[in-house]
Structure 1
Amino acid sequence: MANDKFLLVLGGASDIGRATARRFAEAGWRIAIAGRDAAALQREADDIATRTGVKVATPALDILESEAFEGFIAGLDGLPDAVVSVIGLLGEQAKAEVDVAHASLILRSNFEGPALLLGLFAERFRARGEGVLVGVSSVAGDRGRASNYVYGAAKAGLTAFLSGLRNRLAATGVRVVTVKPGFVRTKMTAGMKLPPLLTAEPEEVAEAIYRASVVRPRDVIYVKPIWLIVMTIIGLIPEPIFKRLKL
């Protein structure tokens, strides 16, 4: 079921990135998965090709090297029809509180790098008059909490950036989708005790991204709808009470 559509996944060797690339490949899209680990990218590309028959490109990308972004885009085999950014770094909150370099790494990996690169693609999509940009943010950005506020602040920045981009491009034919997965069972959360009701599998996130991009266009999606209820309640807690909570 081949078509002429082209998907680029930023962070393609991650669990969500791999699942997303495979979901689009199953629909016949041409695929490129980008990231820093060339060997990991090639393993995922070979696996997707074996399962779907779709050849997968593996362009190198370091999201911290913004000076290389223009060259990265120019080196692609054409301008993608859709770009999905699943790049993220949870980091360690306690370390980020005392280590400026670690805090900077979290902020740049989750916000600065993805936002700058998606912004460059947005301008090219705007000039073309169509395209889909998908940013995987987090419910952690809905309200700052003591347990992960550096990561949450970075994701809040990405959410705001995507919202503004969506507003600016609304009349251009370019769509911008914000995805908030909540907990996801991945390598990044390995060892964490995750509540089943609030936890998604990478394949669920991939399906949500595909449907919001292709099947039923959406602006903002909570992969597990219950998270919208949870975060709405958390957002309504008065600050004097919220300060006393351990969240």
Structure 2
Amino acid sequence: MAAPEKAVLILGGASDIGRAIALALAQSQWTIRLAGRSVPDLQREADDISAYSGSLVTVHSFDVLDTASFIAFVDALPDLPDVVISAVGLLGEQHRAEIDLDQAKEVIRSNYEGPALILSVFAERFLRRGYGSIVGISSVAGDRGRGSNYFYGSAKAGFSAFLSGLRNRLAVNGAIQVMTVKPGFVRTKMTEHMKLPPLITASPEEVGEAVLSALNRRKDVIYARSIWFFVMLIIRLMPERIFKRLRL
């Protein structure tokens, strides 16, 4: 008898990374539920993924900044997914955020407040059911604050800490996985204006395959390319008096 298909909900499903994760799981016969602000964009992605993989793909309207709608959003889903993945993110503009509180607030809420709160809702539902997996796409930018992106980095640091704490809390259950993904540099629309070093820059497809593999192995924290573990270890251990002289 064939194993029953699993369902995954991907928040931020129209993003490059969200789409790549969806495609990787769809090719492994998962049912895919894509959620995000633009339903037309999601539908285009859903049609492509379904045609390529043959898997069922549905779309759902979701705004990570509309926290008041979170409970109703979860209640309206066709079912409680086996896995929920937050691929929501907003790089924003650091220089603008330094003088524009609305921009700073949007970056912080998009990368930390919204993702943490919606995953909290799913954590409680998974606890009541008895199993599930929660995946958050965080960032190496959260491992140490840098002058060039500290609004984005601090929000991702908060999100990583949230996932770590949730993982610690749910560890006693054993049946609920909480995974933090730190992709490092990825070639996406969000980074297309940046010059990225090839050695430490992954494709969205690499991230998708890494997430699928890590779900199967029930990993806690992963980097899309393992070299990032060592890069960030060096950066974290660097004395502050030296680090603050760098223009990073």
Normalised by the shorter chain, which TM-score bucket? over 0.9
- Partner residue in 1 for 2:97: 96
- Partner residue in 2 for 1:22: 23
1:133 equivalent to 2:134? Answer yes
Shift of 1:2: 7.4
Q: Percent identity?
A: 59
Q: Distance in 2 between matches of 1:201 and 1:2?
A: 30
Q: Distance in 1 between matches of 2:102 and 2:9?
A: 29
Q: Is the 1:129–1:174 contact (alpha carbons within 8 Å) kept by the matching residues of 2? A: yes
Unaligned 5+ runs, structure 2: none
Residue-by-residue CA offset, 1:107-166 (whole Å, 9 max, x unaligned): 000000000000100011111111000000000000001011100000000000000000
Q: Is the 1:2–1:27 contact (alpha carbons within 8 Å) kept by the matching residues of 2? A: no
- Partner residue in 2 for 1:63: 64
Q: Distance in 2 between matches of 1:83 and 1:158?
A: 15
**Which amino acid is the alignment partner of residue 243 of structure 1?**
K
SS in 1 for 2:213: helix
Aligned residues: 246
- Partner residue in 1 for 2:183: 181
Residue-by-residue CA offset, 1:66-101 (whole Å, 9 max, x unaligned): 000001001101100000111000001111111000
**TM-align CA RMSD:** 1.0
- Partner residue in 1 for 2:240: 239
SS in 1 for 2:61: coil
Q: Is the 1:2–1:28 contact (alpha carbons within 8 Å) kept by the matching residues of 2? A: no
Q: Distance in 2 between matches of 1:99 and 1:179?
A: 29
The 5-angstrom pairing of residues 93-132 of structure 1 reads 93-132=94-133
Deviating above 3 A after TM superposition, structure 1's stretches of 4 or more consecutive aligned residues are none
Q: Distance in 2 between matches of 1:130 and 1:169?
A: 10
SS in 1 for 2:8: strand
* TM score, norm. by length of structure 1: 0.98
1:145 equivalent to 2:112? Answer no
Shift of 1:191: 2.0
**Which amino acid is the alignment partner of residue 142 of structure 2?**
G
SS in 2 for 1:84: strand
Q: Is the 1:3–1:28 contact (alpha carbons within 8 Å) kept by the matching residues of 2? A: no
Q: Distance in 1 between matches of 2:226 and 2:191?
A: 20
Q: Distance in 1 between matches of 2:63 and 2:236?
A: 34
Q: Is the 1:87–1:114 contact (alpha carbons within 8 Å) kept by the matching residues of 2? A: yes
Q: Distance in 1 between matches of 2:4 and 2:183?
A: 28
Residue-by-residue CA offset, 1:167-193 (whole Å, 9 max, x unaligned): 000121110000000010011111211
Residue-by-residue CA offset, 1:28-71 (whole Å, 9 max, x unaligned): 11110000011100000000111111121101000000000001
**Which amino acid is the alignment partner of residue 196 of structure 1?**
P
- Partner residue in 1 for 2:9: 8
Q: Distance in 1 between matches of 2:92 and 2:18?
A: 19
- Partner residue in 2 for 1:45: 46
SS in 2 for 1:69: helix
Q: Is the 1:9–1:17 contact (alpha carbons within 8 Å) kept by the matching residues of 2? A: yes
